[in-house]
Amino acid sequence: MKRISILLVFHILMGACCMAQSNAERKEYASRVKAAFVKAWNSYMNYAYGMDAVNPISEKGHNWYSESLLMTPVDAYSTMCLMNLKKQKKQARELIFSRLNFDKDMDVQQFEIAIRMVGGLISSYLLDGDRRFLELAKDLGDRLMPVFDTPTGIPYRMVNLRTGAISGNVTNPCEVGSMLLEYGMLSKLTGDPKYYDKCKRGIVEVYKRRGKTGLVAGGINCDTGEWTDNKAHIRGGIDAFYEYLLKGYILFGDEDLLHMWQTSLDGVNRYLEDRTADGYWIGEADMNTGERTATVFGALDCFWNGCLVLAGETERAKKLQESIFKMWTMHGIEPEAIDYKTMQVLSPGYMVRPEAIEATYYVWRATGDSRYYEMGKTMFESIEKYCQTENGYVQLSDVRTKEKWDTLESFFFAETMKYCYLFFAPEKVFSFKDYVLNTEAHPLRNTWDKGWRGDYMMHGGGDGRAAQ
């Protein structure tokens, strides 16, 4: 598994052959994706200026909490940089630098704020160069740090940005570990290892408590370290915990992360993968016995294909991609979740999620097979057909009826449009040799000296709490 970085470069070089195909068509599609992004951004500027997100149909906006954190401008900025949207960048910068302030007496969900806001601000600094982005990221990161002050080191879910009061002592692996890239970058850029070390300790403490399958479950008590359920899967609540073990190793060269990733990958391949007459899937099992507990697969699970590609598991990725596309085309656009044994829809909404498009992009770049490029086109056309309104883009409440759901969250700008654009953009726009994409698709520069691991280590490092 130490060959991951080499395999990654090999895959991207292999994928480069597809960039020579259909230059005129790719240019046309790139322009269409940019136009879609601009239309959605104009909707935000017209109806939700200064708020977190837009409701295009009712022509208003909404905030996640009692006050705005400018989620859409922060989340959108890295995509604007890649698209070279100068006017929109200027608008977003003016909003961010004139209005963004984290001294607010309100509780926020640490994980979501870290991947969207800390990640977005750091990526903006790396792509733009304006140090004010980094200063904002550090201020926010410092305000989030109290969540790690727990008996186990496993972070609480919520923190008050002004007082530092924490709450939510039952969490999940995703909210424990999928901030490591953001906090690791903050440590690298500021020279202060505390961000990386505190986050890594929480990851190690969860990993130490893994089941006999080598997998983690979907809920854990931060005070006691006891599991609150026993279901192992890769969907929401666990997903990016695994993603960040792999991407953290690629970005920072931390061998502890590689070890934990390999154990997790082996567990998923042995206990969670499933085959039916309708395809190859990743399901759910008891974390200790490995017994199958559910046959659920959904939009969030699609992220796994990017991990398979980065880990060199290309054949598995190709099989899972067929299932992902089948789920997408069942009703013309993907539902939130299905029972893959019966192929029945369990959760009918489409939240304009990016993970299926992300998966398709990774497999296309890894193989150079135009079949996956065509899948990417199909997915973008589905969004254009079903999610577009007169005033912008919205989610769907039911993919079977195509009934619209009047909201557009910030990840549409950060992820969905970014992955659509990367299918068609010139090769110089983005390279996996230079960047790792965080779970919100914010590019983080992959130029560090490898082998960096902060002060906290699994075995005998940091405060001496060694993993077993």
Which positions are annotated as active-site residues? Answer: 112, 239, 336, 355
Work out the burial of residue 293: count CB atoms within 10 Å of its CB; fewer than 13 is exposed, 13-18 middle, 19 or more buried: middle
- List the one residue out of 112, 104, 100, 114 whose CA is nearest residue 163: 104
Q: What angle do CA 188, 191, 194 make, to 5 degrees?
A: 85
Q: What residues does 435 pair with on adjacent strands?
A: 445
Nearest-5° Cα angle at 57, 60 to 353: 95
- Do residues 410 and 76 lie in contact, with contact meaning Cβ atoms separated by under 8 Å? yes
Q: What is the longest distance spanned by two Cα atoms in the chain?
A: 59
- The residue whose two tokens read 């009826």 is 401
Is the distance from CB of 278 to CB of 343 less than 8 angstroms? yes
Helix (H) or strand (E) holding 289: none
Q: Which one, of 444, 388, 435, 389, lies nearest residue 416 by Cα? A: 388
C-alpha separations of 73 from 171, 336, 349 in Å: 28, 26, 25
Query: What is the chain's Cα-based Rg?
Result: 21
Tell me the β-bridge partners of 167: 158
Q: And the tokens for 258? A: 């590689």
> Taking Cα atoms as reference points, which of 69, 68, 92 lies closest to residue 80?
92
Nearest one of 376, 381, 387 to 419, comparing CA atoms: 376
Contacts of residue 11, Cβ cutoff 8 Å, sequence gap at least 6: 309, 310, 312, 314, 365, 366, 432
Asked if 283 and 294 count as a contact pair (C-beta separation under 8 A), the reply is yes
Instruction: Give the pairing of strands 158-160 and 166-167.
Output: antiparallel
Contact assessment for residue 347 and residue 336, using Cβ atoms and an 8 Å cutoff: yes
Please name which of 452, 464, 434, 437 lies closest in space to residue 196, comparing C-alpha atoms.
452
Residues pairing with 55 in the sheet: 60
Say which residues have a Cβ less than 8 Å from residue 306's Cβ, sequence separation at least 6.
243, 358, 359, 362
- How many CB atoms lie under 10 A from the CB of residue 86? 9
- Please answer whether residues 415 and 441 qualify as being in contact, where contact means their C-beta atoms are separated by less than 8 angstroms: yes
First CA to last CA distance, the chain: 21
